[in-house]
Structure 1
Amino acid sequence: MWVAGEAYEPYVGRWSRLVAHQFVRWMGAVPAGSWRDVGCGTGAVTQAVLDVAEPAMVVGVDPSEGYVEYARRTIGDRRARFVLADAVNLPFADATASVAVSGLVLNFVPDAPRAAAEMVRVVRRGGSVGAYVWDYGEGGMEAIRAFWDAARALDPDARALDEAVRFPLCGPAPLGELLVGAGLEDVEVEEIGVLTRFSDFDDYWKPFLGGQGPAPAYVAALPEERRAELRARLRSALPREADGSIPLRARAWAARGRRRA
């Protein structure tokens, strides 16, 4: 599912980048730190760290070769490097980073507590660990919520694939509890909201044809007739401005904590 950076960027990457900059500022890390970006994908968080945190270095980790190659190709900063690895087996020694972060990843990791524990392990005592995830419920990530509302209206079986059903981690209480359970102290949870304005319906719909993520994978599996029916339902349901643009919003939940000194 997660292989093509060029397809991921117009689907979710462009909106994740807006959240990432706010998230990195909120982490409040001191300059010249050594960062780990766990599940770096196409590099949204890595780039935000480079832009606003003044790091000495940041290492992005992801199991997708396609995403790692995309990040290497598009981030031309000597402070950044990328490695192929899994979130539950980070290739770093204990206590070697000052900050470990993860954007839009932990809900996709089969063993999220172990991934959080790994992030804590690689951070020095007193260092920071943080993560953010989309809220897939009502009033959350509206572009994806609208998709699943339409899909479920046409296909009752779509409910089992809906991220709001599949990912109970994606809320303020479960996300905060995950970091507390990993042994962090002073855990805080924050809401981050961004505007996701689509220029027209094609700008909204075409990224769902790229196969990157649960909703696009669902579209790819539909017969052409049912795909057209879903497209028509979404076209009629989405809000429009006078210029044809589609004004939606996205809410993410961010959590941060500190490794005990």
Structure 2
Amino acid sequence: MAEQQIRFDDGAAYEQMMGIWSRSAGEIFLDWLAPPLGLRWIDIGCGNGAFTELLVERCSPVEVQGIDPSEAQLAFARTRPASRLAKFHQGDAMALPFADSSFDAAVMALVLVFVPDPAKGVREMFRVVVPGGEVVTYMWDMLGGGNPLDPIHSELQAMGMGGTRPPRMEASRMEALRDLWIGAGLEEVQTREITVHRTFANFDDFWTSSLKSPALQPTVAAMKSGDVETLISRVRARLPADADGRITAGARAHAIRGHRPK
């Protein structure tokens, strides 16, 4: 499948497609981090604010700054309850608009494979946290079948169809994440795997939700109707329904944490 830029410009669609998945993984991620309350956070690639909301709800931060390139996503984020505290800005993960040592913790939630230069993005996170501050991320295992959309991507690939994938999927490998964190000079590096499941009312619920992805919708929209029906049949076979017609799908993320040396 082709690797090219994927633009997330619809906050409401992202919420239905990926926001629910993000929060499920984010809950486990924050349980693992167990951060102190009252920190200053920067949420890089905050998108529509799905993970930012978790930070505000669970971590009692004194400050949260959200950065994302999509103004449409940010507009949705600003409608969330988290906006009573969090501030959202349009910006670039590789050139954060903040001074050195501005935050206690920097996070990217499901973002790193979309950053054109992941190493530069990690170095920017390092730069903006204080000495002793934490730099963290979780990212779907894009090369190991962990993406929630992989049931569809895999069948598209088997059918020889084109598709759009993030530009730096290699950065989702656990070994690659560790290399990036150590290469940036971070210490006390730890990793873990996060597995989550999501139950849909039926196959149509799964299919409709998944097609809100800008990585899938244009590809499926351009397919012949017969090919779409074949694709649906193949994906349906991968996700058998239970006795009530519900579909349960799984996803797997890789998480990493490290501290800037004091």
Pairwise same-fold verdict (TM > 0.5) = yes
User: Which residue does 1:116 correspond to in 2?
Assistant: 122
Return the alpha-carbon distance in structure 2 between the equivalents of residues 3 and 134 of structure 1. 20
2:168 maps to 1:176? no
Aligned length: 256
Whether the 8 Å CA contact 2:103–2:128 is kept in 1: the answer is yes
CA, structure 1 residues 4+42, in 2 after alignment: closer, same or farther (shift >3 Å)? same
Residue deviations 1:66-121 (CA, integer Å, cap 9, x gap): 11000001234422110000101111010010000001101011111111111110
SS state at 1:51 partner: helix
Equivalent in 203, 221, 237 of residue 205 of structure 2: 203
CA, structure 1 residues 50+215, in 2 after alignment: closer, same or farther (shift >3 Å)? same
User: Which residue does 2:160 correspond to in 1?
Assistant: 155
User: Which residue does 2:4 correspond to in 1?
Assistant: none
User: Which residue does 2:223 correspond to in 1?
Assistant: 222
Letter in 2 for 1:107: V
2:84 maps to 1:78? yes
Letter in 1 for 2:171: L
User: Which residue does 1:244 correspond to in 2?
Assistant: 245
User: Which residue does 1:7 correspond to in 2?
Assistant: 13
User: Which residue does 1:256 correspond to in 2?
Assistant: 257
What is the CA RMSD across the aligned residues, in angstroms?
A: 1.9
Equivalent in 185, 188, 192 of residue 186 of structure 1: 188
Letter in 1 for 2:10: A
SS state at 1:89 partner: coil
SS state at 2:25 partner: helix
Identity of aligned residues (%): 38
Whether the 8 Å CA contact 1:136–1:144 is kept in 2: the answer is no
Whether the 8 Å CA contact 2:115–2:168 is kept in 1: the answer is no
SS state at 2:18 partner: helix
User: Which residue does 1:39 correspond to in 2?
Assistant: 45
Whether the 8 Å CA contact 2:114–2:168 is kept in 1: the answer is no
Choose 53-62 or 222-231, whichever is displaced more: 222-231
CA, structure 1 residues 168+244, in 2 after alignment: closer, same or farther (shift >3 Å)? same
SS state at 1:253 partner: strand
User: Unpaired segments of 5 or more residues in structure 1?
Assistant: none
Moved over 6 A (4+): none
Choose 201-210 or 95-104, whichever is displaced more: 201-210
CA, structure 1 residues 231+40, in 2 after alignment: closer, same or farther (shift >3 Å)? same
Return the offset for 1:156.
5.4
Letter in 1 for 2:192: E
User: Unpaired segments of 5 or more residues in structure 2?
Assistant: 1-6
Higher helix share: 1
Return the alpha-carbon distance in structure 1 between the equivalents of residues 91 and 40 of structure 2. 18
